[in-house]
Amino acid sequence: MGRPAYRTDPSVSPRHLAAVSGGALLIALAPILAVASTRGENGVGTWDAAFWRVALGTLALGGLFLVRGRRLMPRRSDFRHGHAWIWLPGLAFAGDFWTWHWSFENTSVANASLLCNLATLFVAAYAWIVWKERLGLSFVCGALLALAGMGALVLSSAAREPPAAGNPVFGDFLAVLTAGFYAVYQLSMKRYRDEHSAPVLLFWASLVASLVLLPVALLHEAPFLPGSAAMWLPLLGLGFVSHFLGQGLISWGIAGVPASLGSVTLLLQPLGTALLAVPLLGQALVPWQIAGAIAVVFGLFLAVRGRRLAGRSGD
């Protein structure tokens, strides 16, 4: 696996930047919709919501392929470098959605969304160890600040009343585990992006994740199917709005903006989730949580900036 190429062209396409921003905001709705789909006696379980998100998203992606006349099934020549591109991103995707949705049962969606974005640091650590990528002082300072923010978020959970029978600190741990899964997903997608298009990789990752999450959801004690037609609405929003449209806009838009700007723009997602959770879910932000959120977002901003600058200096 070689060192990734960086986009050094400073020009920005307004359409692509708007797509990345819009995609991030649509994905910001995902935790809100996931929690909404589990509320009340007609709601499903959080693990079940994770399945429906990728399953409905897979249906939408498959429909798009069929409408556009694109081939869904891989050819024999597509396996010249092995089969891992079919299953590896999907396994990581399944772990990502499973642990992230599980975390909603225990911690606030703001914490869950902020902590899972620490995937940026895990990817950078891999790049440093395996690709021998140089990391600048800005990255080191940003990483330390983000980790300090993570500590503040965990402190906020320890001081907060747990939701129902949940454990907020355990929920924060699940969100950090989600970051690990998402880092594997990002790295595997980057590995196979030169051989297969982003929509193809996203379709197969979503399909494999659906197949993995289906037995997990069925074994979960919570209801698998919504108890009313109205409760399908948040699930449809998860699959079609957040997963299909959100991921699709980001996949298309990220190619038209510099990598550093794209990575920073994606930080709209955890910020959007944290702000939306206050009026929509009644999950008020506490002082330690606000301090931690600022530290994580600003730390990730510095880390992304430091990593891109170091990458360019070595080209």
Q: Cα 71 from chain centroid?
A: 26
Residue 304 lies in a domain: yes
pTM for the complete prediction? 0.84
Residue 8 lies in a domain: no
Confidence tier at 312 by pLDDT (50, 70, 90): very low
CA distances from 39 to 56, 131, 159, 186, 272 (A): 20, 45, 24, 31, 21
Q: Give pLDDT, residue 138.
A: 82
Kindly tell me if the per-residue pLDDT of 7 is higher than 60: no
182-187: Cβ within 8 A, 24+ apart = 182/92, 182/96, 182/116, 182/119, 183/119, 183/122, 183/123, 183/126, 184/88, 184/92, 184/95, 185/89, 185/92, 185/93, 185/96, 186/119, 186/123, 187/123, 187/126
Q: Give pLDDT, residue 209.
A: 95
Q: Give pLDDT, residue 143.
A: 84
CA distances from 149 to 191, 250, 289, 290, 300 (A): 30, 26, 9, 9, 10
- At residue 214, what are phi and psi to the nearest 5 degrees? -60, -55
Kindly tell me if the per-residue pLDDT of 257 is higher than 80: no
Highest mean pLDDT among 6-20, 61-75, 171-185, 286-300: 171-185
- Per the model's pLDDT, the better-predicted residue between 106 and 161 turns out to be 106
Mean pLDDT of 240-252: 86
For residue 102, the enclosing domain spans: 14-72+81-313
Mean predicted lDDT score pLDDT of the chain: 83
Q: What are the helix and strand counts (H, E) for the chain?
A: 13, 0
Mean pLDDT of 142-161: 82
Residue 201 contacts residue 137 (beta carbons within 8 Å): no
Residue 257 lies in a domain: yes
Q: Give pLDDT, residue 314.
A: 42
- Per the model's pLDDT, the better-predicted residue between 139 and 43 turns out to be 43
Residue 7 lies in a domain: no
Kindly tell me if the per-residue pLDDT of 310 is higher than 60: no
Residue 5 lies in a domain: no
Q: Give exposure, 254-278, as e/b (b: 16+ Cβ within 10 Å).
A: bebbbbbbbbbbbbbbbbbbbebbe
Least confident of 8-12, 134-138, 193-197, 230-234: 8-12
What's the structural domain count of the chain? 1
Name the maximum alpha-carbon separation found in the chain: 57
**Cα 76 from Cα 57, distance rounded (Å):** 26
Residue 23's CB is within 10 A of a number of other CB atoms, namely 25
Q: Give pLDDT, residue 164.
A: 55
Least confident of 70-84, 99-113, 271-285: 70-84
Confidence tier at 160 by pLDDT (50, 70, 90): low
**Cα 151 from Cα 148, distance rounded (Å):** 5
Residue 161 lies in a domain: yes
Kindly tell me if the per-residue pLDDT of 258 is higher than 90: no
Kindly tell me if the per-residue pLDDT of 264 is higher than 50: yes
CA distances from 261 to 12, 138, 255, 288, 301 (A): 9, 16, 11, 28, 10
- Per the model's pLDDT, the better-predicted residue between 125 and 9 turns out to be 125
Proportion of the chain above pLDDT 70, given as a percent: 86
Judging by beta carbons within 10 Å of its beta carbon (0-12, 13-18, 19+), is residue 286 exposed, middle or buried? middle
Proportion of the chain above pLDDT 90, given as a percent: 29
Residue 1 lies in a domain: no
Q: pLDDT tens across 23-82, in order? A: 889 999 999 999 999 988 899 999 999 999 999 999 998 888 888 777 777 776 666 667
Q: pLDDT tens across 201-217, in order? A: 889 999 999 999 999 99
Q: Give pLDDT, residue 176.
A: 93
Q: Give pLDDT, residue 199.
A: 82
- Per the model's pLDDT, the better-predicted residue between 155 and 1 turns out to be 155
Residue 27 lies in a domain: yes
Kindly tell me if the per-residue pLDDT of 3 is higher than 50: no
Q: Which amino acid is at 295?
A: A
Mean pLDDT of 171-195: 87
**Cα 16 from Cα 39, distance rounded (Å):** 36
